[in-house]
Structure 1
Amino acid sequence: MARRRQAVTIKHVAADAGVSLQTVSRVINDGPNVRPEMRERVQASIEKLGYVPSIAAQRMSGAKSYLILALNDRERTIEDWRKREGSDWVDQMLLGGMLKCAEHGYRMMIELVDTHSDHVERELGAALTALQPDGVILTPPHSENPLITGLLAERQIPFARIGTRVEGPGMRITMNDEGSARKATEFLLGLGHRRVGFISGSREYSLSGRREAGWRTAMADAGLDVEDLYAVGDFSYESGVRASEKLLGQSNRPTAILASNDQMALGALDVAKRMGIEVPEDLSLISFDNTPLARFTRPALTAIDQPIAETASRAVEAIIESDGRSVDSDEVLVVPGSLIERESTAPPRNG
């Protein structure tokens, strides 16, 4: 039987470098009062022996954990996973966040927390105590939950709030929802559409209101009335079906629809097919998010690409740059989305 390889410890590094354990600890934890030549010698021994510092040991020394925690809504995330409908929000967060963490020697974890729970503070407090992250990334609706932001501020943990412009503690980062909705609407108007319908997302998310505002602004700037062109959804496929039935069931139906996410756009596409409305000849359709769903529908959906990976990357960057200090910023960092044109949009048939 092969012998198990002995784990390399800080004692091995100290012996190889010919220095004290305290010196190795200061080098690992980027502490002060270490001469450059001594730091180089210890670092060379670490690389030679393949030593990986223990996170537990680092925490005991009071140093950084080099861990960034991202919080996502438990209920919606699990629902998306179980439906297996192609939502890749968590994948994209990990893509951007983990790669940026790796550049700086950090690790990233995602924790699911129920923002509706009466015990959200206790639940989050337990996670913070167990993991002791150097920073936290909040996604909607957590980014606007005062219980969560208040707890993080009280503990002086640096955190970034994605998808919100609401004032409060922490660093705010948005994906320019209003500007993206306006861009999509203006694109449809440029094709010659004058009756552009809109399907909103859940009111639980402030970004839903910003997307609606972008559509309304673009329509108003073009001198167009939006009466009977608005329908309420909640980001689910089923709500997209109901909203589309309302919009497309009118005698003077819209010739184009902007849906606030891909699942609702898919609902609109299926309703149009059932009603014999051809896409894009009779109805142009644009969705938000640009998840894998948008590429594999027939026709493929023109979509606003939400830069989730880039946003998560910028959030990690902001937390690392804070260097452990709780930072409140009056400015909102905007990471703009882009319009990906595919086969679901065209000039109106009788335009």
Structure 2
Amino acid sequence: MPQRSRRTGAAVTILDVARHAGVSPMTVSRVINDHPYVGDTMRERVLASVKTLGYRPNLAGRSLRTSGTARIGVLYSNPSAAYLNQFMLGILEQSSLNGSQVMIEKCSGIRSQRAAARRLLEAGVDGVILPPPLCDSQRTIDELDATRIPVVAVATGTPMEGVTSVRIDDYQGARAMTRYLLQLGHRRIGFIKGDPQHTPTALRAAAFLDAMAEAGIEVPPDHVAQGMFTYRTGLTAAAELLALRPRPTAIFSSNDDMAAAAVSVAHGMGLHVPDDLTVTGFDDTPVATTIWPELTTVHQPVAAMGRAAVTLMLDEIRRKRDGRPKADTHQVMKFTLVRRQSSSPPPRR
């Protein structure tokens, strides 16, 4: 049911409209941007909320107003729905505040990437934001760069020269988590890696191994399992680690989806988390607080990174329209180690 009230004393945002209408922020964005694939009933419902709340895009970007509304493309193939939802919330909210339009294309393989990028270009986007793992696709970036439109890469572990980016320090984040587990007393720690095509994967794995080496602990090869940042691959990886004898007293997963899978496997084996097994993740997506026990994880400000990506993109678009060179900005945002119920000292036995 649509909500009838909202907070007072603050400007109405696209999120307020979505809550009032009882729809997703993406649906509101499509209605506002006159997207053809929205039903009449849904369109009327959203427009009624827009009118009731007095929502108006904040066209603060004056340089963009004078030269036309900015159209920002988002090209994605991320398998983690939780990560993507948080990211798109930030994208939509910031683009709404700046009066820019957002066009979204999903892709999978190389051929699909090219077709999706071509659709964005044919739609007249002024720039393209690439969330992971496409942020690390040199082919995709080169093809977009050849069209001379701005590109912003989000959550890449190794920023490319000439490509504006926003990220966290993945290495230090994973190192902080490993040190935390060591401080709890864990010595047999299993690690689940992510997609090898995504550069933060190598950084998080290297940080884990380095922190363990600093503590004088050698990590056996079978204590590092391969995942792909998906829940399903987390199930397989966790099962491999928990079949070891002696098994690890803690599992550090490279993202929350795989950590949630590890918790599920542990429960299926009759193990209690964290009494019998500590499980930690990375990203702090909504799944971290929707499972039991809630996950200890590294908070990556995904929605804030989406907002920052829009701000950086609008700056690049202004520069291009003004005939100025690229800013080539590389913004590093802060991470936070969030301690919750899934971690504790190892069992005494």
CA distance in 2, matches of 1:303, 1:277: 20
Paired with 1:297 and 1:92, the residues of 2 have a C-alpha distance of 17
Q: Can you give the 5+ residue segments of structure 1 that lack an aligned partner in the other structure?
A: 1-50, 53-58, 81-86
Give 3-state SS (helix, strand or coil) of 1:313's partner. helix
The root-mean-square deviation of aligned C-alpha atoms, in Å, is 2.6
Partner of residue 145 from structure 1, selected from 133, 137, 155: 137
**In terms of mean alpha carbon deviation, does 319-328 or 245-254 score higher?**
319-328
In 2: Cα distance, 1:174 partner to 1:151 partner: 22
Name 2:295's counterpart in structure 1. Answer: 301
Deviations 1:249-279 (A, max 9, x none): 2222211110112222122112222323221
Q: 2:215 aligns with which of 183, 208, 222?
A: 222
Aligned to 1:45: none
Relative to the length of structure 2, the TM-score reads: 0.74
Q: What secondary structure sits across from 1:289 in the alignment?
A: coil
Report how far residue 320 of structure 1 moved. Answer: 1.6
Confirm or deny: 8 A CA contact 1:301 1:342 kept in the other structure. Answer: yes
Q: Per-residue deviation at 1:286?
A: 0.4
Alignment of 1:1-351 (within 5 A): 63-73=67-77, 76-77=78-79, 87-114=81-108, 116-118=109-111, 120-130=113-123, 132-164=124-156, 165-227=158-220, 228-322=222-316, 323-325=318-320, 327=326, 329=328, 332-350=330-348
Matched letter for residue 327 of structure 1 = K
SS at match of 1:203: coil
Identical-residue share of aligned pairs (%):
33
Give the SS at the match of 2:76: strand
Task: Output the amino acid matched with 2:70.
Answer: Y
Matched to 1:203, the amino acid is P
CA distance in 2, matches of 1:315, 1:349: 43
Q: How many residues align?
A: 282
The aligned counterpart of 2:3 is none
| Paired residue secondary structure (1:288) | coil
Cα deviation 1:36-74 (Å, max 9, x = unaligned): xxxxxxxxxxxxxxx99xxxxxx9x9933322111111x
Q: Is contact 1:64–1:134 with CA below 8 Å preserved after alignment?
A: no
**Deviation per CA, 1:203-254, whole angstroms, max 9, x where unpaired?**
1212211111121121111111111321111122232222222212222221
Contact kept, 8 Å, 1:135 with 1:324, in 2: the verdict is no
Separation in 2, partners of 1:177, 1:159: 21
**Residue 119 of structure 1: how far off its partner (Å):** 5.5
SS for the counterpart of 1:121 is helix
Paired residue type of 1:309:
A
Alignment deviations for residues 155-213 of structure 1 (CA, whole Å, 9 cap, x no partner): 22111111221534321222222221111111111111112210111212122111111
Instruction: Report which stretch shifted further, 312-321 or 61-70.
Output: 61-70
Compared with structure 1, are the counterparts of its residues 278 and 101 closer, same or farther at alpha carbon in structure 2 (3 Å cutoff)?
same
Contact kept? 1:72, 1:139, Cα under 8 Å: yes
Q: 1:120 to 1:241 in 2, by over 3 A?
A: closer
Contact residue 298 and residue 336 of structure 2 kept, 8 A: yes
Does structure 1 retain, via aligned residues, the 8 Å contact 2:273–2:293? yes
- What are structure 2's unaligned runs of at least 5 residues? 1-55, 58-63
Q: Which residue of 2 aligns with 1:38?
A: none
**Which protein shows a greater Rg?**
1
**CA–CA separation in structure 1 for the residues paired with 2:292 and 2:66:** 56
